Chain A
Amino acid sequence: MNATPQRRFAIAGAGLLGRLTAWHLLRDGYAVSLYDAGDLDTPPAAAWTAAGMVAPLAETVVSERSVYEMGQMALDRWPGWLAELQASELWHQHGSLVVAHPQDGNELIQFRRDLADTLGEGALYQELDGSGIHHLEPDLTRFRHGLFLADEAHLDNRELLTRLLGAIRELGGECHAHTPVEVHPGEVTTPTGTHHFDLVIDCRGHGAKTNHPTLRGVRGETLHVTTNEITLTRPVRLMHPRYQLYVVPKPNGRFVIGATSIESEDRSPISLQSSLELSSALYTLSPAFAEARILEQGVNLRPAFRNNLPQVTLSDGLISANGLFRHGYLLAPAVVEHLLSEIRGHGDNPFADLLDGSAPRRPCRESE
C-alpha cells in the first residue's frame, strides 16, 4: 500500500472533493498540502451551501442513469467513511418523500414515469396515500399522494466538512486558508511563491474556471429556517409545475430549503423573487412553517460542464476533478474512488469510462 510513502501531493480547493481526497491520501501515508482561496471554517464551497442529500433516484430523474449508478456508490461508501471519521451520527438513511398537491398530481405521475424510464419498472419506490404520508411524516397533513424512496439518505453536511478538516489536521495535513492558487503540472503558485509537488490535484469547482473553458457556474439559492412547530425525519421534495423545492431537516430544528437553478454566475444575495418562491412553496408544504425564522440565505455556484456531469482530467503531474453540478454529496464518493485509484495506480477504477474527461464522450461537432 505504502510503496511510495514519500510522495507529496497538493490539493487545490478545500470543498467536499478536496477534503475527502486529502483525508484518504493522508490515511494512505502521503504528505498532503491543502489550499483554498477562502476560509476553511466557513468555506465558500458549494458543499457548504448544499443541503447534503444522497438521493440517487430523485436526482436521476433530472439527469441520467449514470448519476444513479454513481449514486449507488455513495450509499455504499458514506456509512463506512463516516464510521471511520467517528461521525456515524451525521448519516441519516430514512429515505425521502416526494409529494405534490392534488392539482399537480400529474407532476408525480411524470416523476414516476421518468424514474421507470431510466431505471426500469423495478425502480425501488413505494406509492403512498395520505395516511401513508402521515405515517412517515406525521406533520405533513396536506397531501393525498406521494412516493417514498426508501433507500435515499441525507447527511449533516456542514458538520461533515468540519470533521473532515479536523481529521486532515490530525493526520498532519498542511492546510492553507485564504490562499488562492494557480495550478500547473507538479506546481502550485500561491501569492508568495511557487511550490513543487509530485502531483497536484485540482478540486476547485467553479474556482478552476480559467483552466476549463467549458466549465460554467449555475447559481443556486437556498434558505435556512428554524422552527420547532414541525418535525421532518427525511428530505421532502415538492413537485410543482413552476417550482421544484426540497426541504432537508438538519439538527436543532433547522431546515434547508432549496434550491433555485439559474444559468448565471452571479453570486450576489438571493433575489426577492427566489426567496418568495422558496418560502411560499415551503408554506404550502405545511403552514406550520409560517412562524419559522429565516436564519440564513445561501447563494453559490454549482460547477458544471455542458452535460452537467462530472469529469476527471489526467495529465502528468496534474489531475483535475470537477463538474459535480447539483450532485456533490451524491457523486463525490464515485469521483474520489476514481481519483484515488488513478493516484494509487491500483485498485479497480470505478466509472473510468464515465468520468474520464481526456477522451470526449461524444465527437465534437464539425464547424460548418
Chain B
Amino acid sequence: MHTQSPHDDALVLYEERFNSRFLLGTALYPSPQVMQDAIEAADCAMLTLGLRRQNPGGGNADGDGDAFWQILRESGCHLLPNTAGCRSAREAITLAEMSRELFDTPWIKVEVIGDDYNLQPDPFGLLEAARELVEQGFKVLPYCTDDLVLCQRLQEAGCQALMPWGAPIGTGRGLMNRYALRTLRERIDVPLIIDAGLGAPSQAAEAMEMGFDGVLLNTAVAKARRPAQMSAAFARAIEAGREAYLAGLMERRQTASPSTPTLGQPFWHATP
C-alpha cells in the first residue's frame, strides 16, 4: 500500500509548491518580538500582511529599517499581501496593484468586505475584483464565504485556489457550517484554504481532515497567551489533520464493534 507522508505532499497553489499548509497573519501581536517568535515556530507557507495609509512623518526615516518589515524580510517567508478594509471591487483592485509594486509579488489575498459588523465578504464585489485581477495576471486567493455558487463563479473567473471562511474573522468559532464546507470540498477541485474564524488547533485539524488544503489564521495565534507556543500547536495540528486525511478516516457507525476480538478469549462462553 502506498503511504504518502506530509513531507512529499506539497501544497500547490498556482503551480508553486509549498512545504507547509499553514498560512499565518501578522497583525495583533503584543510585540514585534513575539510576532517573530510565532513566525519561527509556525514554519508556515506564507505570511499575510496589509497596506495602510502612511502619513508623512510616519514610518521610519530609514525606509526598510522598520521593525515589522525587517522581521518579515528576515523570516524568508513567502508574502501574501491582502486588500483588507476594501469595500468595493475598485478599491481592492487599486490596492492589489499598489501591493504588487510594493512587495514585488503577483500574489494577492482579495478581500472585499460587505458588512462591517461581521466583516462578511461581499460576494459581488469580490467576484468583480477577482475577474479583473486574474486578467491582470495576479495570483488571486479570494477570501470568500462558503457559498457553493460563489465559489464556482470564482473558479470560473480563473482563481486557482479559494479561501472560504470557517467563521467570521476573529471570532474563533471554528467551522460554523460543516455542511456547506463539505459540499465545497466535494464540488470544487481547486485547492481550498480555510481562512478566518478558527480559534483552536483542533478546529484546524478538523478542516484538514475534511480535505481542505490549508489553513490561514491570525487572531488565534496572536491573541494566545503564548503565541509562539500556539503557532507551533497549530502547525502540528495542521500536519496531523492532513496526514489523517491522507490516511483515510473510517466512517462513523451506529453499532459498537469491539476492536479486540472477544471470540476465542478464555471464558467468553461463561458470560451469562
Give chain A's interface residues, CB within 8 Å of chain B. Answer: 62-63, 110, 113-114, 117-118, 213-214, 216, 219, 241, 263-268, 304-309, 365, 367-368
Contacts and interface: CB of A to CB of B under 8 A. Distances in A.
A307 B33 CA distance: 5
A223 B170 CA distance: 27
A365 B58 contact: no
Contacts of B36: 306
Nearest to B35: A306
A216 B60 contact: yes
Contacts of A304: 31
B30 A63 contact: yes
A265 B60 contact: yes
| Interface SS, B side | loop
Nearest to A219: B58
Looking at B33, B68, B71, B76, the one whose CB has the most chain A CB atoms below 10 A away is B33
Contacts of A306: 31-33, 36, 67, 71
Contact of B54 (A63, A266, A309): A266
B211 to A, nearest CB: 31
A62 B59 contact: no
23 contacts: A62-B30, A110-B223, A114-B225, A216-B60, A216-B66, A241-B170, A264-B59, A265-B57, A265-B58, A265-B59, A266-B54, A266-B56, A266-B57, A266-B59, A267-B57, A268-B55, A268-B58, A304-B31, A306-B31, A307-B32, A308-B32, A367-B74, A368-B76
B198 to A, nearest CB: 16
Looking at B40, B60, B76, the one whose CB has the most chain A CB atoms below 10 A away is B60
Looking at B31, B55, B68, the one whose CB has the most chain A CB atoms below 10 A away is B31
A296 B30 CA distance: 28
Nearest to A367: B74
Interface string B25-55: 0000011111010001000000000001011
A305 B36 CA distance: 13
Nearest to B71: A306
B224 to A, nearest CB: 10
A268 B57 contact: yes
A266 B74 contact: no
A117 B225 contact: yes
A304 B66 CA distance: 12
B217 to A, nearest CB: 16
B31 A307 contact: yes
A308 B170 CA distance: 24
A42 to B, nearest CB: 20
B71 to A, nearest CB: 8
Looking at A62, A117, A263, the one whose CB has the most chain B CB atoms below 10 A away is A263
B67 A216 contact: yes
A307 B55 CA distance: 25
Contacts of A367: 74
A242 to B, nearest CB: 8
Nearest to A365: B74
Nearest to B62: A213
Looking at B32, B36, B71, the one whose CB has the most chain A CB atoms below 10 A away is B32
